Amino acid sequence: MVKVGILGVGTVGASVAKILLENADIIEARAGKKIVPVLGAVKDLSKDRGVPIPLTDDPVEVIESADVDIVVELMGGVEEPYALVKKALEAGKPVVTANKALLAYHRYELQEIAGNTPLFYEASVAGGIPIIGALRNGLSANHIESIKGIMNGTCNYMLTKMIQEGADYDEVLKEAQELGYAEADPTFDVGGFDAAHKLLILGSIAYGIDAKPEDIVIEGIEEISQTDVEFAREFGYEIKLLGIAKKVETGVEMRVHATMIPASSMIAKVDGVMNAVSVVGDRVGETMFYGPGAGGDATASAVIADIVEIVRGNTGPMLGYKKGLESGLRLLAPDEIETQYYLKLKVLDRPGVLSAVSRVLGEHSISIESLLQKPSRLADRVRLLLTTHRCSEREMRQALQALKALDAVDESITMIRIEK
Amino acid sequence: MVKVGILGVGTVGASVAKILLENADIIEARAGKKIVPVLGAVKDLSKDRGVPIPLTDDPVEVIESADVDIVVELMGGVEEPYALVKKALEAGKPVVTANKALLAYHRYELQEIAGNTPLFYEASVAGGIPIIGALRNGLSANHIESIKGIMNGTCNYMLTKMIQEGADYDEVLKEAQELGYAEADPTFDVGGFDAAHKLLILGSIAYGIDAKPEDIVIEGIEEISQTDVEFAREFGYEIKLLGIAKKVETGVEMRVHATMIPASSMIAKVDGVMNAVSVVGDRVGETMFYGPGAGGDATASAVIADIVEIVRGNTGPMLGYKKGLESGLRLLAPDEIETQYYLKLKVLDRPGVLSAVSRVLGEHSISIESLLQKPSRLADRVRLLLTTHRCSEREMRQALQALKALDAVDESITMIRIEK
């Protein structure tokens, strides 16, 4: 019998305990041993968690209990769980965590501390989808060419509503908040930060890149409007919030932002709160992993899969990959990223403006791929919607500054990157 | 250093050797040890295999070589590889196989023989997609509710062409043969047998069902015509060849056949030669795994993933599940399957025929859900296209016999099952 202690018995923690009890038959059959939740740590002992396991308000008690063989960390936060996970690993106890923020900041220190003690984290990326297993194990023969993931259900739900129902951003956000898909302060989701934490974890497994959130481009979906959605549709794209990690000649690009992707691509077809991660390997080609990215039971499914692996005695390098293995595999600075761009500008409706805009782009070596001019709601303005050929982020940023400095161009320019 | 011997150096075997050599850096980083192909067995030594490893025409030499630590079986066939894999396992050598026919017939004997020696087979189902790993490990906390897989690229390519280009079956088959997607005798693919082998493997991992191909419904796509494709489109379905394993109250249904599925479902969006397997777990909900189901490099990617797992020392029950664990989880007989059906009948264009058809269906307790009457190419005939509410396969078969016995109904009735 293997005994599990749970730090943090909230939605996911309660699901872990319940599933271990309710699906005990099949879990034992697959793991080869009985797995039992024996102790949980919570902040507030007075709250009913609906699970029949003893609770304490001292997480260290869980870690130090002679009765606990495996520690599951589901507290959230960064520094407090870091100290606790460290303590558990130093005591030689295997740890399973679903905490993406913890790993976004401390995964390499934790790999170091863990040594040969298992530290598994399947649930930290894309909830119930076994994407970590796929990358660490299933695709291990491949150099990874790219990872593109829909890893935030809130954003995907909102974008899907905007696309399918013609709803505007503010309405959809309100609806998502009412349904519990978005927090009262939705920044962590709609600003791309949640997806960025997950991307950093995948970037380590695929490329051994040691980066923190502040090192990569992180943008959200707050600027997306119906005009953009309609333009995308017209030109055969869908708009998704993607986390992208991609090997290019000079290194690895990592970025999170709203992205126009061909409507025919598999990942463009992923709607609603669902998540999906497309992984292209140099040998296997494109694979995609689809499923629920959140929810107590779905996340607990991944947590328990890790526990089963530990009970089976399975290991492997925590991050699947040594740091800095492939020569030249450095993280590109945001300025070095190269891609295609979509721009939406509001400009004065008078002769010469279009030529001024295209001259500014030309001066920054940016050439226009397609262009659409539409009337604006303001009488003296028109909207210019355009896509560019590939250029660097540096050139684009400079061009945007120069465009905003033009008298005839309003300051509020929307820029969306395009991935083909 | 771990040394690999390869039985069968055809397309996949050559890819395994090449990738082990060309991606040696990343494979070593992930496995923790260097993995080297050292010897291959082929039938015809005179043929150039394009790989720099010594070859023999005696497979036993590979197994018995003191130099070979892991045996990879890629010969095809059933009884010959069975004897060889058995020999390797009895010698205590871990085996990796991509041979779905071997496993469709001998997986339980092999599990017995293997004991604690690893016998891995990720490549046997859906090529490069790590679906075995997902089922055995990633979803181990779940009772599996259903598996629905597009597991034959030939069929999916042909159906996609029929749907997207309005082409007819014979044209598309010819084209698939010219492109090398279909064999000169395409029966193994288009008849559903290839998909059935894969389904039997998944059915064991999910449910512990010990079945052989002859125990389950296996039908192909040979009867599908443009009329069916158009009807499906009109009623919001796509037609796919699916392998289905599904838990119902009375047991487990397992079947391979052309299926009408809602066009909005994720698996309906999988086009061309690509494969995908949708797995619904009682806790995780729906997940889907997508990628290339065939091809030398994609299949080799899965073979090497297994080798890496073995080198890491990872194990687990070969089939992930003891035989017959859950009480009542027996395989249903084909007659016991319950689903909805689509029927296409050619009937005489005269009064009373429609009423005769619906009376026969009613006599077998089958009620009609939707009905469409269309002119036929023959002047005195019309086509009846209809869908039914749920009924048992037994009732449907009996009703089909009775319908064929009617004077006014032609014998060539097309029946396609519907899955919602």
pLDDT tens-place string over residues B337-381: 999 999 999 999 999 999 999 999 999 999 999 999 988 888 899
A121-178 pLDDT, tens digit per residue, is: 999 999 999 999 999 999 999 999 999 999 999 999 999 999 999 999 999 999 999 9
The residue among A221, A259, A257 whose CA lies nearest residue A239 is A259
**If you ran DSSP here, which 8-state letter would residue B331 be given?**
B
Give yes or no for A26 touching B (CB within 8 A). yes
Residue of A nearest to B323 (CA): A29
Give me the residues paired with residue A144 across strands: A281
Give the whole-angstrom CA distance, residue B362 versus residue B300: 52
Q: Considering CB atoms only, which of A15, A308, A316 is closest to B312?
A: A316
Looking at residue B41, its pLDDT comes to 98
Confidence of residue A323 (pLDDT cuts 50, 70, 90): low
End-to-end CA distance of chain B: 50
Who's near A144: CB < 8 A, 6+ residues apart? A135, A206, A207, A245, A247, A279, A280, A281, A282
All domains in chain A, ordered by first residue: 2-120 (3.40.50.720), 132-292 (3.30.360.10), 334-418 (3.30.70.260)
Of A129, A266, A321, the CB nearest to B287: A129
Residue B176 · residue B287 · CB < 8 Å: no
Res B152 pLDDT > 90: yes
User: How confident is residue B20, by pLDDT bands cut at 50, 70 and 90?
Assistant: very high
Catalytic residue among A18, A198, A344, A346: A198
Rounded (10°) CA dihedral A385, A389, A390, A394: -50
Q: Label residues A201-238 b or e (16+ Cβ within 10 Å = b).
A: bbbbbbbbbebebeebbbbbbeebeebbbbbbeebebb
In chain A, residues 115-134 whose CB comes closer than 8 Å to chain B: 122, 128-130, 133-134
Q: Which of A122, A137, A321 to mutate to test the interface with B (most CBs of B within 10 A)?
A: A137
Q: What is the DSSP string of A41-95?
A: E-S-TTS--S-SS-EES-HHHHHH-TT-SEEEE----SHHHHHHHHHHHHTT--E
In angstroms, rounded to a whole number, what is the distance separating the alpha carbons of residues B301 and B27? 11
- The pLDDT, as a whole number, for residue B378 is 83
Torsion angle (degrees, nearest 10) of CA B218, B221, B223, B226: 150
User: What residues of B act catalytically?
Assistant: 198
Q: Where are the alpha helices (DSSP H) in B140-221?
A: 153-165, 169-178, 187-190, 193-207
Q: Is B64 helix (H, G, I), strand (E, B) or coil?
A: helix
The one-letter amino acid at B369:
E
The pair of three-digit structure tokens given for residue A398, joined into one six-digit string: 């400079």
CA distance B412 to chain A (A): 37
pLDDT at B327 over 80: no
Among all residues of chain B, which has the CA nearest to that of A289?
A: B289
Q: Do B134 and A136 touch (CB under 8 A)?
A: no
CA–CA dist A294, B272 (Å, integer): 30
Q: Mean pLDDT, to the nearest integer, of B71-94?
A: 98
The 10s digit of each residue's pLDDT in A359-374 is 999 999 999 999 999 8
Residue A319 predicted with pLDDT over 90: no
Q: Per-residue pLDDT for B335 more than 90?
A: yes
Lowest mean pLDDT among B117-126, B158-167, B309-318: B309-318
How far apart (Å, rounded) are the C-alpha atoms in residues A73 and A102? 10
Q: B23-50, pLDDT tens digit by residue? A: 999 999 899 999 999 999 999 999 999 9
Per the CB < 8 A criterion, the answer to whether A75 and A59 are in contact is yes
CB A137 to CB B128 under 8 A? no
Mean of the per-residue pLDDT values for chain A? Answer: 95
**A343: pLDDT strictly greater than 80:** yes
Nearest residue to A34 (alpha-carbon basis) of A72, A6, A70, A73:
A70
With a cut of 70, say whether residue A116 has pLDDT above it: yes
- State chain A's maximal CA–CA distance in angstroms: 80
Tell me the C-alpha distance between B274 and A308, whole Å. Answer: 31
Beta bridge partners of B97: B73
The gap from C-alpha A251 to its chain's centroid, in whole angstroms, comes to: 20
Cross-strand pairs, B131: none
Active site residue A198: yes
